Amino acid sequence: MDLSSLCRTGFTLLRQIEPVIVLEQLGSTLFETALQMVVKDRSVNATYPDAHLSREGSQQKAMTDFYMVYNLIIRLVPICPALLLARLGDRGWRRAPIMVPLSGYLLSRLALLLVVVFRLPLEVMFGAAVVFGLSGGFCAYWPGVMTLASLGSTATDRSKVMMKVELLYGAAGLVGSLVSGHLFLLYSFSLEHGTILLTVSALLHLLCLIHSIFLLKVKQVPNTEPEDNCHLIPPASSEAPAEAPLGKNMVNVVLLFAAAILYNSAVGGAIEILGSFVLKEPLNWSATQVGYGNAAGFMIFLTSFVGVMVFRRCVSDVTLILIGMLSFASGIYFMSFVTATYMFYLARSLNLFALIPMPTIRSLLSQQVPASKCGITLTLLQFALKIGGLVYIPAFTKIYQGTLGWFPGFVFTLSSIITVLGMIPISIVGCRTAPRRQ
């Protein structure tokens, strides 16, 4: 292969969606570590005279209060903009759901950089979160990425392409997390901790935005094969299930909605607190350890997809979901009693398959409704999960603050219990869909 052919191949690869995924995810993981450490530093001198808290208790309350408000904004503001961008994308502006959110990513990263450099109040990040949300945020960006990836593949190769995109996302997050803590500690007499890290993060997002505007190509492969379903993950069995009566399917839909809401609340609530939990005694992590801890989360992302590929060969979707739920329930229960860093990683190792349930529930849900109702059903599920965030984010935050003095890990035990409750409707679905013996 001559040099010109190599250049053409390289330029073709450069115009695909993969560079956008890598650049954005690397930038985001750097930002997350920086935000976590900046929030910790700014909360050191927080005081709550009426709450009778220790200095560390006041710091934890300030951190969790910040993340409660910040995450509520991040989850709720993007809903309407994401819907508008999705509609714009369906009308032919395929890059809009990617370019607009990326501008929001860049502005929010620059906002934190300004907070660090000019010692601005941390509350500036609430405004940055609103700007990020109005751009569509992750709610618009990720569906836009998946749509562009699917348009560039045939129906036969689509599941493999989606898997490659998800694995690339997890791998980029893993690498970014591993280096983020080291970059945060780089500083000089004229630069604050985190300045270099946030500058690199902003540059990565700037490159990503420029790429999406000038290089990203919308490639649509003609699809000559019939689309007979809207499954997000192929069914475990090679035989298409016989269509069940509408009443039975509706009961399954309700049960799957209940399981998804319970599990999403358990996972979301626990992870909401975990970032603050590791920054207090007895763990009291540094920036480097925070990066490694975040990398462990992305390792779960990768192992969950390997688990799907392996287990799907021999178990049903329902069993797959239960394996994932049990993995999370056991790991997060162990997290309740973590008092050393090695114990944290032991607890996370039990969470190897914790990310399996949600995509599999969506796949199973799509099998319970006609293809024409699939889109609206999955959209309703996403809205239900968003509304659930209105409940579990403040609930877990206040419970954690209330139990700091006697059992800081209580929220993780509660998360484990909620996960077990979520296994009940999934088990009922399994019983209802299992083939009856003659």
**Whole-angstrom distance, CA of residue 235 vs CA of residue 229:** 10
Tell me if 269 sits within 8 A of 393, measured CB to CB: yes
- pLDDT at 325 > cutoff 80: yes
Q: Which overall architecture, per CATH, does domain 247-432 show?
A: Up-down Bundle (1.20)
Amino acid identity, residue 235?
Answer: P
Q: Which two tokens stand for residue 416?
A: 């484990």
Q: What is the pLDDT of residues 309-320, one digit of tens each?
A: 888 889 999 999
Q: Which of 264, 31, 29, 27 lies closest to 129, judged by CA?
A: 31
Q: How far apart are CA 306 and CA 342, in angstroms?
A: 24
pLDDT score for 92: 84
How confident is the model over 236-275, as pLDDT tens digits?
A: 443 444 444 444 488 999 999 999 999 999 999 999 999 9
Maximal CA-CA distance, the chain? 79
Fold of 11-218: Growth Hormone; Chain: A; (1.20.1250)
| Interval 17-39 mean pLDDT | 96
The amino acid present at 113, given as its one-letter code, is L
Domains 11-218 and 247-432 share a fold: yes
Q: Are 307 and 325 in contact (CB under 8 A)?
A: no
Contact predicate 122/211, CB 8 Å: no
Cα radius of gyration rounded to whole Å, the chain: 22
Measured CA to CA in angstroms, residue 172 lies from 21, 25, 111, 232 at distances of 8, 6, 23, 22
pLDDT score recorded for residue 357: 94
10 Å CB burial of residue 417 (0-12, 13-18, 19+) is: middle
Q: Where are the domains of the chain?
A: 11-218, 247-432
- State the Cα–Cα distance between residues 318 and 270, nearest whole angstrom: 23
Give how far Cα 337 sits from Cα of 21, 43, 333, Å.
36, 25, 8
Q: What is the average pLDDT across 227-242? A: 40
